[in-house]
Amino acid sequence: MGVKVFAGVLDVDGAGAQQLRETSENLQVLQLDVTDRNQVETVHRDICSQVGHTGLWGLVNNAGILQCPVDVELQPLSACRRCMDVNFLSAVHMCQVFLPLLRRARGRIVNMSSMAAVVPMPMFAGYGASKAALSVLSHVMRAELSDWGVRVALIQPAGFRTNIFGTSEDISRYRAEILEAASSEAREDYGDAYISSLPSGLSRLSQRSAEDLSPVVDDMCHALLSVHPKPLYTPGQMGWLLPFVHRHCPTAIFDVIIKTLTKYNDCEPAGLRTS
């Protein structure tokens, strides 16, 4: 579209970064771990030197991690902290650092949330909580920044198949971390077989997710470039339907529906198995 894009990536030498370089001459790949304040400051200086007094038109906070499906009782606190750090706190920091440039251009902020921010998804409490925090941040900043001419949009997609589901190495690491963090009482009640089976739910979740990412990309482009961007985008078949059902369905019925839809595991906790 002729727009200059600064693409922050976790590994500037990785395969994904190389694919981005081949996309367009207008795209510049930058090393950016959003949880690393030094890298954020370095990228900020680099962009400032290029845009000058014109400012920056758009900031897209797209970095996110999912971890793996796990009961709240079994989720390591370190995993919760990591979710909050990447999915929420890093977005707060990026907004704070880049807002002076965005104000100059009277530009846009686009935050990538999730349907899990508004629909209580069993096994994804840490992830959902971090995305809910990001959603609240977006709504608050939309009101605060309107007087400055800066628009804030929130994208709240349903399930799409991306690298967020991790690799086989990630799944093995999650399994080891959950087993190590679980108390002896929890391991006895849930059983090591059940706990060990939890990370495999990522594979099932990935298979159920849509492969075509164009609805998310189209909404992102609309949020950035439309004269009248929406405050909220809900790409994906279930993006609006499941939140609607959650709002209007009796709680007991919805709990049955959501537990059925999010059953990624055939193994049951040891303490719940029938003899």
What are the boundaries of each domain within the chain? Answer: 32-165+211-262
Residue 252 has pLDDT above 80, yes or no: yes
Among the listed ranges 35-49, 147-161, 173-187, 252-266, which one has the minimum average pLDDT value? 252-266
Contacts of 11 (CB under 8 A, 6+ apart): 17, 31
Confidence band (pLDDT; 50, 70, 90) for 77? very high
Catalytic residue among 127, 190, 233, 264: 127
pLDDT at 140: 98
What is the value of pTM for the model shown? 0.90
Average pLDDT of span 51-79: 93
Mean pLDDT over each residue of the chain, to the nearest integer? 91
What pLDDT was estimated at residue 171? 78
Reading the block at residue 213, the tokens are 């990412």
What confidence score (pLDDT) does residue 261 get?
84
C-alpha closest to that of 46 among 35, 36, 34, 56: 56
262 versus 5: the higher-pLDDT residue is 5
Q: How confident is the model at residue 81 (pLDDT cuts 50, 70, 90)?
A: very high
- Cα distances (angstroms) measured from residue 48 to each of 6, 7, 38, 231: 12, 15, 15, 27
Q: Under CATH, what is the fold of the domain 32-165+211-262?
A: Rossmann fold (3.40.50)
Condensed to tens digits (0 to 9), the pLDDT of residues 196-239 reads: 888 887 767 766 767 788 999 999 999 999 999 999 999 988 78
C-alpha dist (Å) from residue 240 to 8, 54, 119, 159, 237: 29, 37, 10, 12, 7
Q: What is the 3-class SS of 16-69, one letter each residue?
A: HHHHHHCCCCCEEEEECCCCCHHHHHHHHHHHHHHHHHHCCCEEEECCCCCCCC
Per-residue confidence at 88, pLDDT binned at 50, 70, 90? Answer: very high
User: What average pLDDT score do residues 91-106 get?
Assistant: 98
21, pLDDT greater than 60: yes
Mean pLDDT to the nearest integer, 94-109: 98
**Residue 200 neighbours by CB under 8 Å, 6+ apart:** 171, 264, 265
Q: Is 233 known to be catalytic? A: no
Give bridge partners of residue 61 from the DSSP assignment.
111
DSSP state of 245: H
**Joined tokens for residue 34:** 């959003």
Report how far residue 120's alpha carbon sits from residue 131's, in angstroms, rounded to the nearest whole number. Answer: 11
Q: Which segments within 62-114 are labelled E, that is strand? A: 108-112
